[in-house]
């Protein structure tokens, strides 16, 4: 029995449509493996198999079209082998994307127990700060909505920490004291006024454990709102702060990363703020 022939232009259009269906099928399978789609696209796969069966029964005279069809057949065979292997791994709970999704769920639950979040309705954040907070939440497995990365406007308000403001004031006072001392020395040499004795430098203050202060504020706020605090320890809160501070400094090039305790939707949250 002679095999059916098809017009070359019509066959070329069929092959183009088949290639698009295969790509759509590949995307749907990947979305299923990632947990986006709830069921595998078996219906579309059957349609693609039926089209392949019909086209391979044709008598194709064009070498180019024959080679193109063979290429699609080989690609589809490789995809089917990968899909079958992935489906077996999904059933056994060993698929890499399934394991990664379970790990994200576990980390999200752990972050929820720590009361960590990336946004609040009280403190305004720049795009860079929101992206840093998003990085923190991604590390802990939280669902975040970072803003698109854009360059900050030149007329945006500059936020300065209390330490920076105190540092500027201290520098100004130091400069004035040095100028006054130089003036007194010059007058003393001229015999106008006696030089006063030099004051001893004030003793250095011991370093402040800011992580401990943040932890205590976090626990105090949670208790005030009636939230659980038995699962919180100073060590795990400090470790999370140190990891996020290092990641934020590496990505944004900032010198310091501060943390603040905020309240959003009646829940106490810990928020990183790059400086």
Provide the pLDDT for residue 123. 43
Give 140's contacts (C-beta < 8 A, 6+ positions apart): 107, 108, 110, 111, 114, 116, 240
* Residue 237 sits in the same domain as residue 269: yes
Same domain, 55 and 12: yes
Q: What is the pLDDT of residue 152?
A: 45
| pLDDT value of residue 235 | 87
Q: What is the pLDDT of residue 73?
A: 94
Residue 67 within any structural domain of the chain: yes
Q: Is residue 45 part of a domain?
A: yes
- One domain, residues 135 and 269: yes
> Do residue 22 and residue 125 come from a single domain?
no
69, 12: one domain: yes
| Same domain, yes or no: 138 and 218 | yes
Give the separation between CA 223 and CA 217, rounded to whole angstroms.
10
Same structural domain, 29 and 80: yes
Residues 90 and 129 in one domain: no
Residue 239 counted as domain residue: yes
Mark whether 137 and 89 lie in a shared domain.
Answer: no
pLDDT at 46: 94
Q: In terms of domains, do 136 and 235 share one?
A: yes
As beta bridge partners, residue 268 has 263
The pLDDT score that the predictor gives to residue 107 is: 75
Residue 132: predicted pLDDT: 56
Structure letter (DSSP) for residue 200: P
- pTM (2 decimals)? 0.39
Which ranges constitute the DSSP H helices of 115-209? 127-140, 162-189
Q: Looking at the structure, tell me whether residues 25 and 141 fall in a common domain.
A: no
Q: pLDDT tens digits, the chain, 275 residues: what are they?
A: 567 888 889 999 999 999 999 999 999 999 988 888 889 999 999 999 999 999 999 988 899 999 999 999 999 999 999 999 988 888 887 777 767 777 777 777 766 666 555 443 344 455 555 565 555 555 544 444 555 544 444 444 445 555 554 554 556 667 777 777 777 777 777 665 454 555 555 554 445 568 888 888 888 888 888 888 888 888 888 888 888 888 878 887 778 888 888 887 777 777 778 77
- Total domains in the chain come to 2
Contacts of residue 144, defined as CB under 8 A and 6 or more positions apart, other chains included, come to: 118, 133, 134, 137, 138
Q: Is residue 238 part of a domain?
A: yes
Is 37 a member of any domain?
yes
125, 133 in Cβ contact below 8 A? yes
- Enumerate residues 6+ apart whose C-beta is below 8 A from 34: 97, 101
163 within domain boundaries: no
Residues 37 and 134 in one domain: no
Please choose, from the candidates 269, 267, 268, 275, the residue with its C-alpha nearest in 3D space to the C-alpha of residue 249.
275
- Supply the range of the domain harboring residue 253: 115-145+208-274
């Amino acid at each position: 029995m002679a095999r059916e022939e098809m017009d070359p232009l019509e066959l070329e259009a069929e092959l183009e449509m088949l290639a698009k269906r295969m790509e759509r099928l590949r995307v749907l399978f990947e979305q299923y493996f990632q947990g986006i789609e709830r069921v595998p696209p078996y219906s579309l796969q059957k349609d693609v198999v039926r089209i392949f069966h019909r086209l391979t029964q044709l008598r194709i005279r064009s070498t180019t079209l024959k080679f193109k069809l063979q290429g699609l057949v080989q690609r589809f065979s490789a995809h089917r082998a990968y899909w079958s292997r992935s489906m077996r791994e999904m059933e056994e709970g060993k698929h890499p994307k399934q394991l990664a999704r379970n790990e994200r769920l576990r980390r999200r639950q752990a972050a929820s127990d720590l009361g960590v979040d990336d946004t609040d309705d009280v403190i305004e954040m720049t795009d860079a700060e929101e992206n840093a907070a998003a990085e923190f939440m991604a590390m802990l497995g939280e669902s975040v909505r970072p803003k698109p990365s854009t360059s900050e406007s030149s007329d945006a308000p500059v936020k300065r920490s209390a330490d920076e403001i105190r540092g500027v004031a201290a520098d100004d006072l130091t400069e004035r004291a040095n100028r006054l001392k130089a003036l007194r020395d010059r007058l003393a040499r001229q015999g106008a006024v006696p030089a006063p004795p030099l004051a001893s430098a004030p003793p250095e203050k011991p370093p402040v454990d800011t992580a401990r202060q943040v932890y205590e504020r976090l626990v105090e706020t949670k208790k005030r709102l009636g939230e659980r605090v038995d699962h919180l320890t100073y060590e795990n809160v400090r470790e999370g702060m140190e990891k996020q501070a290092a990641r934020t400094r590496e990505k944004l090039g900032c010198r310091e990363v501060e943390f603040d305790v905020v309240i959003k939707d009646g829940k106490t949250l810990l928020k990183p703020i790059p400086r």
